[in-house]
Chains A and B, each alone.
Chain A
Amino acid sequence: MTETTLSHPDNREPTAFTQEELGWLPWLEPFPADQLTERHWAGLVEASRAKSPYFLLLARDPDVLQARTKADKDIFYNTSNGLPRAERELAATATSRSNGCIFCASVHSRFATHYSKRTADVQRLLDEGVEVDIDSRWNAIINASVALTETPLTFGGEHIKGLREAGLEELEIVDVINGAAFFNWANRLMLSLGEPVPSAKAQPG
């Protein structure tokens, strides 16, 4: 069987960072939803994800997808202690802004706004970029995320110091490291396996 990539000549890709909901179109054929086995369902973790072309594509390697998704959930949703959810989403947004993932930044800037209620500050990060000056705590989280995103990494003792001086506790710092590191994983999948779709054309799922 000859396999080819999928193209979407009619799609007009978004050209700016936004907090609006975007869609996403795959460049490779997702796994057929009607052929999902028990192993694939376990990989998807949540049955609702079988409607998403992104997760159906990743379901082609279900064991990695399952572990990836469970790591993701603990890094971002386990808020029994550690960094507030809003600031984990800020780390994800800063990382996505730095790598240039317009789709990822749209999702996580929306979450950052939802949990912080700071729509304008989040928008400034999207509009002005990662050099934006917001306040000492958010600046420290953004700077640390950006240094973790550069290749080779430029993250070091001065970033840890910056986070401590901005009032972050030990576990909160580990949450920043995990959040920024995880989005270096997520951004690369989103950017390299498909393209974003403007909100008006957003597809369900």
Chain B
Amino acid sequence: MSTIISDVIDHLAGIRPGSSLDRLRDQRPQARENAQKSYLALFEPEFPGDVTAVERYAVATFVAGLHRQSHVAGFYAASLDRFEHSRLTDVIHAEINRGSAKGPYGRYPQGPLTIEDKEGLVYQVSADNRESLGSRLAAALEHAHLLVFHPRDASPAALQKLLDAGWSTTDIVTLSQLMSFLSFQIRVVAGLRAFAGAPAIESADPEFTQIFTGALATGAV
């Protein structure tokens, strides 16, 4: 992670300068530039407010892990490890496994769409890990799970839980943007990978992730 990454989507999707995907992405220069600016505003903010870097990377690792995109999760976990003991990363990985689900599911307001209501996991951080995460980060992970898998179940009560755990209104906007932005970034990366003919990486094997991350860093992919 010592090299400077000028475009995170290119980095994660393995897009090389001058390749056909590089030229295609250049046809939407504002989208490309502002996807990167969104990443920077969320992970290297000029005005970080009260959301810490550890909180940002911890939530990002969790969100990418829930998507089973291990190379994206590995990317954010590596950043998290720069700030924290790997103990936190281990806790997040355990919670990713506990939170495994298939979305989108959730309920509609009572009416004609009720027949489309789909039940699914309502995730809560395990009692043990709640203590090591702290109530603030635990609440953020629970909200992230809601947004990743069943956003139509969102409610004022879900936001109130964040407020009660110590997140301010402005923090919640930042947090919501971070979770929602990642839902975008992960899909662009996976979509472009499929387009390039490379299979989407769905391995949860950490060794494979390491090899893969190494291969990305050397430009072998």
Contact = CB atoms under 8 A, between A and B. Distances in A.
Interface in B92-138: 101-104, 106, 108-113, 116
A202 interface: no
Contacts, number: 212
A184 B154 contact: no
Interface string A65-78: 11110110111001
B190 interface: yes
B208 interface: no
B221 interface: no
A86 interface: no
B190 A155 contact: yes
B160 A5 contact: yes
A181 B112 contact: no
Nearest to A146: B104
Interface stretch (B80-88, B178-186, B212-220): B178-186
Interface in A61-115: 61, 63-68, 70-71, 73-75, 78, 81-82, 98-102
Contact of A192 (B21, B37, B147): B147
Interface stretch (A13-21, A116-124, A132-140): A13-21
Interface of A: 3-7, 13-17, 27-29, 57-58, 60-61, 63-68, 70-71, 73-75, 78, 81-82, 98-102, 129, 148-153, 155-157, 159-160, 170-171, 173-175, 177-178, 180-182, 184-189, 191-193
Interface of B: 20-21, 24-25, 27-31, 33-35, 37-38, 40-42, 45-47, 49, 66-69, 101-104, 106, 108-113, 116, 146-149, 151-152, 154-160, 163, 168-170, 172-174, 176-177, 179-181, 183-188, 190-192, 194-195, 197, 199-200, 202
